[in-house]
Amino acid sequence: MTTQTLLISRSGYILKSAGNLLPGHWLLHHCARQTFPLVESLWPQLLGLRPEGPGLQLECVAQPHPRLSGFYNFSFRQLGGRNNYLELSIHCRTQQAIRSRKEAQQRNESAL
């Protein structure tokens, strides 16, 4: 599975990047809020997440970054500790989304 995990500061900057979706050096020290418009739109809610509480998950986000075509699941969680960093995990779900859409199309065509 193709994934990327980012450690984001409370000010929105990417402190650490690991994974195989995007080269880590493209993301380090960039603002996650500017790099991913989805993060910007959710920023107040993301800052409100608590380490002991549930995270936030979004499924089948279409092209969340100019270099990421396809569909991706986003998972956010607040890490405990002194700095309360935000962890963002991105998982590629393009093949599953395409397969699911084809199956739905076949069911709809059969119903007609």
- Is 111 in contact with 102 (CB distance < 8 Å)? no
Burial of 50 by CB count in 10 Å (0-12 exposed, 13-18 middle, 19+ buried)?
exposed
pLDDT tens digits, one per residue of 60-107:
899 888 888 899 999 999 998 777 899 999 999 999 988 988 998 999
Domain boundaries defined on the chain: 3-111
CATH fold for the domain made of 3-111: Beta-Lactamase (3.30.450)
CA 85-86-89 angle, to 5 degrees, is 140
Q: How confident is the model at residue 24 (pLDDT cuts 50, 70, 90)?
A: confident
Give, for 42, the enclosing helix (H) or strand (E): helix 37-47
Ramachandran category for residue 19: left, alpha or beta (phi over 0 → left; psi -120 to 50 → alpha): left
pLDDT at 88: 96
